[in-house]
Amino acid sequence: MTKTPDFSLADELEATAAWSEDGPADDADDAGLATPDDSDDPDDSDDDFESGYADEVVDLDGPDPEWDLEDDVPTAGAMELAERHQLRRVASLRTELEDITEVEYRQLRLERVVLIGVWTSGTVQDAENSMAELALLAETAGSEVLEALYQRRQKPDPATYIGRGKVEGLAEIVAATGADTVICDGELAPSQLRNLEDKVKVKVVDRTALILDIFAQHAKSREGQAQVELAQLSYMKQRLRGWGGNLSRQAGGRVAGGAGIGGRGPGETKIETDRRRINTKIAKLRGELKQMKVTRDSKRAGRARNEVPAVAIAGYTNAGKSSLLNRFTSAGVLVEDSLFATLDPTTRRTATPDGRVYTMSDTVGFVRHLPHQLIEAFRSTFEEVAASDLIVHVVDGSHPDPEGQLSAVREVLAEVDAAAIPELVVINKADIADPLVLARLQAREPHSVVVSARTGEGMAAALAAIEAELPRPGVEITALLPYSRGDLVNRLHQEGEIDSIEHTADGSLVRGRAPEALAGELAEYAAS
Ligand SMILES: Nc1nc2c(ncn2[C@@H]2O[C@H](COP(=O)(O)OP(=O)(O)OP(=O)(O)O)[C@@H](O)[C@H]2O)c(=O)[nH]1
Ligand SMILES: [Mg+2]
């Protein structure tokens, strides 16, 4: 296996995926985004759209990435990547849900989409970053972004999300561009989605549904798939009434099972059936996940018993977590310039130069406003992070808003009780980041290192910083180990630390520190 085949692969991908490399918000003119000049004017406030991407859109889709694996032995990651690109436009939801006919879980056959956002606070740059991220998410789900619009408002309209006056404009844009889907940058109430759909005459989905869809496309392991399905079902369940089509509307807002006038039309019966099926499915998935969690916990307990320190690589999606894991451990994990490439955490065993063994795990990426159903469903994955000894928090130094990413990740870490774990910030992509931004980040995050997983810059220092943070084994020992117990010397190398070793006539006299369990075994050889 070549050393880092994923990187040459990624190089080629990036040559064709110019959009994400340059970033829409990095270069507002290129992307045709509203510039601060034409949008920061308080006069054009309430009901104005800022429009972007119009003509450049073609570039977003670009030619399909191609690569030549002939020279490289494809790694598992590379093969998964090829497979994923082939599958990219296939609708995501698995068949089990298809019999829930009325519910029509929005199979996101997102092809040609218009994005809309409501910008309530923050700077123009924030609004543009948010739309740019929504565009990346949409592309990751396999769609072509035709147009992106945002509106400045005090708050989203309770009935239609964007201002009512703007809905008509949106409908015109949708008709003119031939879009088949509108994606809203937020979590919308079922009634908002329905109202918008009535007006714009195409499918409307929100950010949460979009992220759920990407997760559904990317989940590979049984646990990952079950987690995503659980999240989708709980999202769906809340929207049954809204998404029941005509039948549910016929039933009005009446509480299911209520016997009032018109309360038990055919629609309601159908909704009840669907709800019951969903509840059954949810219960089944919860049970399965619980089982898988037991396995995972026992694996983790195994590691804990051996007192192998665990390092979790966490960070915003696309920050370079998998690339770093590959660099650190030659793990051959899938690397892709797309969001949420990794959904199944990979754990690798590795060792410090002085022989102490520890594990390093790749994790699911974070994103702003990660749907809470997903946090809930992926709780066991996040618990893995919460049970680690050190969090390597990777941040993309070339992103327009790395500070925003750092705090979005920390919010989720706090939510899964991982806030107290020691954290080392690894500022990645130094090769393409602005040096001023790197300096700014380092000043803000004193406990940080700057690296490039691409060029390898700073990697040795990062590894040293990680290893310096690993928990030290506790008990001081001095032992005279007979030469027949070379196994104990080995274990002391791996699990503990040896300060000195002296070969005497009676055996090896070692001084150092060992974890408690090992110290117990060494007790019989204790020397003074
Ligand atoms: N220029 C540059 N690109 C990098 C660097 N590190 C990673 N990348 C690229 O960034 C993209 C994302 O890398 P990944 O390692 O897949 O990121 P991730 O954090 O695992 O992403 P998810 O699993 O999707 O959350 C890929 O296109 C990488 O080639 C770097 O140091 N410099
Ligand atoms: Mg990854």
Q: What is the 3-state secondary structure (H, E, C) of 237-305?
A: HHCHHHHCHHHHHHCCCCCCCCCCCCCCCHHHHHHHHHHHHHHHHHHHHHHHHHHHHHHHHHHHHHHHH
Per-residue pLDDT at 55 exceeds 70:
no
CA distances from 478 to 489, 514, 523 (A): 12, 10, 9
How many whole angstroms from 320 Cα to the centroid of ligand 2? 7
CA distances from 237 to 31, 181, 229, 272, 398 (A): 38, 22, 12, 11, 39
Residue 250's pLDDT is 36
Residue 344's pLDDT is 65
- The per-residue pLDDT for range 417-470, each reduced to its tens digit, is 888 899 999 999 999 999 999 999 999 999 999 999 999 999 999 999 998 888
Residue 342's pLDDT is 63
* Least confident segment among 118-132, 362-376, 417-431, 489-503: 362-376
Residue 293's pLDDT is 76
pTM: 0.66
Nearest protein Cα to ligand 1, atom 29: 10
| Binding site membership of 320 for ligand 1 (Cβ less than 6 Å) | yes
Nearest protein Cα to ligand 1, atom 21: 318
C-alpha to C-alpha distance for 335 and 320, rounded to whole angstroms: 8
pLDDT band of 222, cuts 50, 70, 90 = confident
Per-residue pLDDT at 71 exceeds 60:
no
Per-residue pLDDT at 314 exceeds 80:
yes
Atom of ligand 1 nearest to the CA of 342: 23
Give the residue from 428, 528, 424 showing the smallest Cα distance to 480. 528
Any residues with CB less than 8 A from the CB of 483 and at least 6 apart, and which?
Answer: 507, 508
| Binding site membership of 235 for ligand 1 (Cβ less than 6 Å) | no
Give the residue from 472, 474, 473, 501 showing the smallest Cα distance to 485. 501
Q: So what's the ipTM on this one?
A: 0.98
3-state SS assignment for residue 424: strand
How many whole angstroms from 175 Cα to the centroid of ligand 1? 37
In the chain, how long is the greatest CA-to-CA distance? 97
3-state SS assignment for residue 415: helix
CA distances from 404 to 38, 333, 367, 409 (A): 24, 26, 10, 9
| Binding site membership of 323 for ligand 1 (Cβ less than 6 Å) | yes
Residue 267's pLDDT is 54
How many whole angstroms from 284 Cα to the centroid of ligand 1? 36
pLDDT band of 380, cuts 50, 70, 90 = low
Of 370 and 263, more confident: 370
Residue 15's pLDDT is 32
Any residues with CB less than 8 A from the CB of 100 and at least 6 apart, and which?
Answer: 274, 277, 278
Q: Whose structure tokens read 């559904």?
A: 216
- The per-residue pLDDT for range 174-204, each reduced to its tens digit, is 999 989 889 999 888 888 888 898 899 888 8
Pocket test for ligand 1, best of 7, 220, 329, 335 (most atoms within 8 A of CB): 335
Pocket test for ligand 1, best of 336, 426, 455 (most atoms within 8 A of CB): 336
Percentage of the chain lying above the pLDDT 90 cut: 20
| Binding site membership of 458 for ligand 1 (Cβ less than 6 Å) | no
Residue 430's φ and ψ, nearest 5 degrees, are -60, -25
Atom of ligand 1 nearest to the CA of 428: 31
Of 84 and 394, more confident: 394
Per-residue pLDDT at 286 exceeds 50:
yes
Residue 35's pLDDT is 33
Residue 77's pLDDT is 63
Residue 79's pLDDT is 55
| Binding site membership of 361 for ligand 1 (Cβ less than 6 Å) | no
Any residues with CB less than 8 A from the CB of 255 and at least 6 apart, and which?
Answer: none
| Binding site membership of 316 for ligand 1 (Cβ less than 6 Å) | no
* Least confident segment among 117-131, 224-238, 327-341: 327-341
Residue 27's pLDDT is 37
| Binding site membership of 318 for ligand 1 (Cβ less than 6 Å) | yes
pLDDT band of 68, cuts 50, 70, 90 = very low
pLDDT band of 110, cuts 50, 70, 90 = low
E strand or H helix that includes residue 313? strand 310-315
Number of neighbours of residue 475 by Cβ within 10 angstroms: 16
| Binding site membership of 327 for ligand 1 (Cβ less than 6 Å) | no
Side chain identity, residue 133: E
| Binding site membership of 31 for ligand 1 (Cβ less than 6 Å) | no
| Binding site membership of 146 for ligand 1 (Cβ less than 6 Å) | no
Do residues 356 and 470 touch, judged by C-beta distance below 8 A? yes
How many whole angstroms from 442 Cα to the centroid of ligand 2? 24
Q: Hey, what's the torsion of the CAs at 340, 453, 307, 480, to 10 degrees?
A: 170
Atom of ligand 1 nearest to the CA of 326: 15
Give the residue from 317, 366, 362 showing the smallest Cα distance to 344. 362
Atom of ligand 1 nearest to the CA of 324: 15
